Structure 1
Amino acid sequence: MNTTPEAYPIGTPGTPWGDAERSEWLSRQARQRSYESEVLSKIEQLRPRFDVEEYGLLEYGADKYPLMAIRSRDWNDDLPVVLVTGGVHGYETSGVHGALQFVDQHAAEYADRVNLLVAPCVSPWGYEHIQRWNAQAIDPNRSFYENSPAQESAALMRLVAPVRDRVLMHIDLHETTDTDESEFRPALAARDGKPFTPGGIPDGFYLVDDSENPQPEFQQAVIAAVEQVTHIAPADADGNLIGSPAVARGVIQYPLKKLGLCASVTNAPYKTTTEVYPDSPRATPEQCNAAQAAAVCAAIDYALAHR
């Protein structure tokens, strides 16, 4: 694991960032990969089999990022809706490519049973810059609420609004990486003027359930499927995963709506957030993508069987 810096290089400890600090942070960010060639090109390849739409356009300076969604070709209002989101934190690679792999390899299996709505890369600026935040140092995955300060979150909410009460299942695909501890948590503490408390990174896959509407059997069905692909994270010595009590093997709970998390954007009875661990020596990028795709399939299968 990377060494955590003693003091974050931007700002004054104990003082929240202002515009100057946010500008300094942004000036340090560099494009490290291409949304167009790695994501948009793959979405285009799906166009012959699915309906593809642009649901928004991000503009950060001279950079423009079309926000793309993939829908079932033969949308049928009599069928339940399944929502798959990825790349809410753009740096979490398998969230994006796992969603695309699901569409490419598995979506056809559900053609006559559900309407699929997939937003594979909610935060493309974050994808290109390998960042958790957007260009304004805002975390999209804490910004899913009315009058959201994050345009990524606001655009997704507009996309989902017409079907939010008809969604049967929503799965939001994430990763927990070593850089969460070495970069992103220290940056968060510095931005908010709070002390950074070192923690740990779970070694393996886990899920986040909704503490306001827990669905333990649903979560365990997903865990069982993913375990065929990659290992499940064990709880630490205190019985926690990422600082939260493990309520079951590989499962923690958050109040999704209270925290403004993406998984709260619909009224789906079945919701979960996946967390893949890509830095494990026991997992390859291919396994991480496959684990995300397996989680989506298992989640849809359970939801359909328990409608």
Structure 2
Amino acid sequence: MQQQQYPIGTPGKPWGEPEKKEWLQKQRIQRSYNDDVVTHIERFKARFDVREYGQLDYADKHYPLYVVLSPEWDDEKPTVLVTGGVHGYETSGVHGALKFIDEQMQAYQDVFNFIVTPCISPWGYETINRWNPDAVDPNRSFYQSSPAKESGCVLRLIDDLGVDLLAHIDLHETTDTDNSEFRPAKAARDGEVNTNWNIPDGFYLVTNSENKQLEFQQAVLAEVAKVTHIAPADEDNRLIGTDIDIPGVISYPTHDLGLCIGLSQAMYATTTEVYPDSENATPEQCIDAQVAAVVGALNYLR
């Protein structure tokens, strides 16, 4: 299914600065990072170690970036990283990370150290966007000299903490707007032809093709299945155009692609994908599925 021409740019020609500026001018603030996210994080200060790990300044907007850490760090314990809001428009990833901190994190602190970044891309959260204002995808930018400030701040955070990660759970969504907006926009930006994929109806996981840890992935899916349905493969036995490894799991070379779960050498890593546009799932179920994914991972590791 080929998408109609995107309204910005010339077919076959990558965007220059004028096209990126035109795209940016069309973006609008639609919700509040401060009201929806920061106010929750402020309340965590009574129970956890909350730190500002960076700042983003875009036009007249200032965004402080926050990480929530275990209050009593123990170098003898393994460390788990949970990331949300790499793509700011993926709502349940942000609110799933916040709900995990609020309701589950303390229960596992006797076993693990935690690093949780609930909303890596606050401008994307506010404008309901996949990219940052520079038309850069943070989830393709987790490498040294990153072109995305959002990704660079996280990389510096992990480097400054100086810890080896046992596991990394990155909370995402796949939405209908991936086909209606974000993939067509990417093709236009890059001067390529866009061909849409089937959007999976349900939850699935993306792992590292070079270290799949499929037993771990299955443990995550088993916990999520208690909350919402797992996405079936399409008629070609694929999810988002990629062959499945096992039901509910696909894999990519995460380091090569600059994906968030490729930012470290964590033995166990997974990217969650919730489908909030499903007729069979509510927004609250999507948030709960994100929490369940982290819990499933922790139970397996424990």
By the TM > 0.5 criterion, same fold? yes
**Band the TM-score falls in, shorter-chain normalisation:** over 0.9
Tell me, yes or no, if structure 1 residue 84 matches structure 2 residue 68. no
Q: Normalising by structure 2, report the TM-score.
A: 0.98
* Greater Cα shift, 106-115 or 23-32: 106-115
CA distance in structure 2 between the partners assigned to 1:197 and 1:83 by the alignment: 34
Matches within 5 A, 1:8-157: 8-157=6-155
Instruction: Please give the per-residue CA displacement for 1:126-173, whole angstroms capped at 9, x wherever unaligned.
Output: 000000000100000000011000000000001111456521110000
SS in 2 for 1:257: helix
In structure 2, what residue type is equivalent to 1:132?
R
In structure 2, what residue type is equivalent to 1:91?
Y
SS in 2 for 1:289: helix
In structure 1, what residue type is equivalent to 2:283?
P
Aligned length: 302
Checking the alignment, whether the CA contact within 8 Å between 1:165 and 1:266 is kept in structure 2 is no
CA distance in structure 2 between the partners assigned to 1:228 and 1:297 by the alignment: 12
Residue of structure 1 equivalent to 2:159: 161
Residue of structure 1 equivalent to 2:195: 197
SS in 1 for 2:218: helix
In structure 1, what residue type is equivalent to 2:192?
K
C-alpha spacing 1:76/1:215, structure 2 compared with 1 (3 Å): same
Checking the alignment, whether the CA contact within 8 Å between 1:71 and 1:117 is kept in structure 2 is yes
Residue of structure 1 equivalent to 2:291: 293
CA distance in structure 2 between the partners assigned to 1:300 and 1:261 by the alignment: 22
CA distance in structure 2 between the partners assigned to 1:165 and 1:270 by the alignment: 15
Checking the alignment, whether the CA contact within 8 Å between 1:126 and 1:134 is kept in structure 2 is yes
Q: CA deviation at 1:303?
A: 2.0
CA distance in structure 2 between the partners assigned to 1:258 and 1:252 by the alignment: 16
In structure 1, what residue type is equivalent to 2:294?
V
Q: Normalising by structure 1, report the TM-score.
A: 0.96
Superposition RMSD on alpha carbons, in Å? 1.2
Instruction: Please give the per-residue CA displacement for 1:37-86, whole angstroms capped at 9, x wherever unaligned.
Output: 00000111111111110000001111110010000111111111110000
Matches within 5 A, 1:249-260: 249-260=247-258
Checking the alignment, whether the CA contact within 8 Å between 2:207 and 2:250 is kept in structure 1 is yes
Match of 1:247 among 234, 245, 248: 245
CA distance in structure 2 between the partners assigned to 1:292 and 1:41 by the alignment: 20
CA distance in structure 1 between the partners assigned to 2:117 and 2:2 by the alignment: 33
Checking the alignment, whether the CA contact within 8 Å between 1:69 and 1:117 is kept in structure 2 is yes
C-alpha spacing 1:164/1:260, structure 2 compared with 1 (3 Å): farther
SS in 1 for 2:12: coil
